[in-house]
């Protein structure tokens, strides 16, 4: 089975009516916001704070969803669900996967959107 794409750029452009300026604005927003959101998820996992994990994962999921980053969205959703159930078991492993994907996503957004706009 083919691996899911890191981000769905065609889908993003379609939802935004191919408005390049808005796509770039969202890309800049992602680059600014994602590290802080990821750090909030990490902090919640380290503190074993399920409630904070639910909220932080949900917030990050919203940002990831803007780019149709489905593999990362799925992990963020799993972390949110864990937090919602009041649990943090296995959250550290999921967080590591999420952080890896988020870094790849950041690089891809820079190379496929922001550098193209220059």
Partner 1 sequence: MKTDSYTVTLDDDPIVSAIVERFVGLPTLAFSSGQALLKRAPSLAHPFGIFVDIHLGISESGLDLVPALRELWPQSPVIVVTASRVEETIAKALAAGAHDFVRKPLSRAEVNARLRVRRAELLARAARDELIVGDLRFDRVKRQIERVGQQCGVVRYLSTTAASLLLCLASAPGSVVSKDELRAKIWGRISVSENAVRKKIFEVRVALRDVSEAVAIETVYGGGVRLTILNEPKEEE
User: Do 26 and 67 touch, CB atoms closer than 8 A?
Assistant: yes
Q: Is position 70 an interface residue for partner 1 (rule: CB under 8 A)?
A: no
Q: Out of 5, 9, 13, 15, which residue is the one contacting partner 1 (CB under 8 A)? A: 15
Q: Give min distance, CB of 25 to partner 1, in A.
A: 6
Q: How many Cα neighbours within 13 Å face the side chain of 16?
A: 19
Q: Is 18 left (phi over 0), alpha (psi -120 to 50) or beta?
A: left
Nearest to 69 by CA among 36, 102, 111: 102
Question: What is the C-alpha separation between 116 and 34, in angstroms, rounded?
Answer: 20
Q: Out of 7, 63, 101, 105, which residue is the one contacting partner 1 (CB under 8 A)? A: 63
User: Do 112 and 13 touch, CB atoms closer than 8 A?
Assistant: no
Q: Give min distance, CB of 59 to partner 1, in A.
A: 7
Q: Give min distance, CB of 85 to partner 1, in A.
A: 13
Instruction: Find the part of the chain contacting partner 1 (CB under 8 A) among 58-66, 86-94, 95-103, 110-118.
Output: 58-66
* Interacting residues with partner 1 (CB under 8 A): 11-12, 14-17, 19, 22, 25-26, 29, 33, 51-52, 55, 58-59, 61-63, 65-68, 77
């Amino acid at each position: 089975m083919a691996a899911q794409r890191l981000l769905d750029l065609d889908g993003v452009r379609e939802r935004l009516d191919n408005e390049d300026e808005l796509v770039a604005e969202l890309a800049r927003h992602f680059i600014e916001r994602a590290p802080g959101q990821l750090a909030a998820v990490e902090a919640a996992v380290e503190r074993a704070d399920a409630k904070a994990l639910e909220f932080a994962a949900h917030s990050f999921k919203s940002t990831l969803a803007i780019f149709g980053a489905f593999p990362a969205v799925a992990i963020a959703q799993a972390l949110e669900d864990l937090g919602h159930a009041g649990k943090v078991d296995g959250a550290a492993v999921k967080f590591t996967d999420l952080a890896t994907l988020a870094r790849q996503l950041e690089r891809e957004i820079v190379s496929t959107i922001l550098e193209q706009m220059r």
